[in-house]
Amino acid sequence: MISTAAFRKLALSFHDVVEQPHFEKTSFRINKKIFATLDIVKKKGVVKISKDDQSLFCEHHPDIIYPANGAWGKQGWTIIDLAKAKIKIIKTLLAISYEMVSIKKSSKSKPKKI
């Protein structure tokens, strides 16, 4: 179990992350793209990971980690129950999400003209 404050601190520990409100939740962004959100009231974190990673983590930790509802879950958005999750799993999921979102954004950047 980790606190919402600890989740927030971990999410902000990555390079160039910005914290912003996102509806009634808190979002953590890299290059203006969300890689994680935090619901303080429900004590849940949400990360964006690949479908393969989502299947693996959900299979091994079904009572802690599960896909978001509907199309969001099909896109890799994955919910973490902070009341049950260990810090090592959360660190790993945040790192995977951060890398995936930051690389995806930078790979779409236009090449610089010479």
Is the distance from CB of 73 to CB of 67 less than 8 angstroms? yes
Q: What is the mean pLDDT of residues 49-76?
A: 97
Domain locations in the chain as residue ranges: 4-107
Q: What is the mean pLDDT of residues 30-59?
A: 97
| Angle separating helix axes 87-107 and 4-12, nearest 10 degrees | 40
Residue 104 has pLDDT above 90, yes or no: no
| Mean pLDDT of the residues in the chain | 93
pLDDT-derived band of residue 10, with 50, 70 and 90 as boundaries? very high
Strands (E), the chain: 18-22, 25-30, 33-39, 44-48, 65-67, 77-81
Residue 99 has pLDDT above 80, yes or no: yes
Read off the tokens for 7.
């989740």
Residue 97 has pLDDT above 80, yes or no: yes
Residue 107 has pLDDT above 90, yes or no: no
Nearest to 47 by CA among 36, 32, 63, 59: 36
Lowest mean pLDDT among 48-52, 82-86, 106-110: 106-110
Could you tell me the pTM of the whole model? Answer: 0.89
Topology at the third CATH level for domain 4-107:
Aspartate Aminotransferase, domain 1 (3.90.1150)
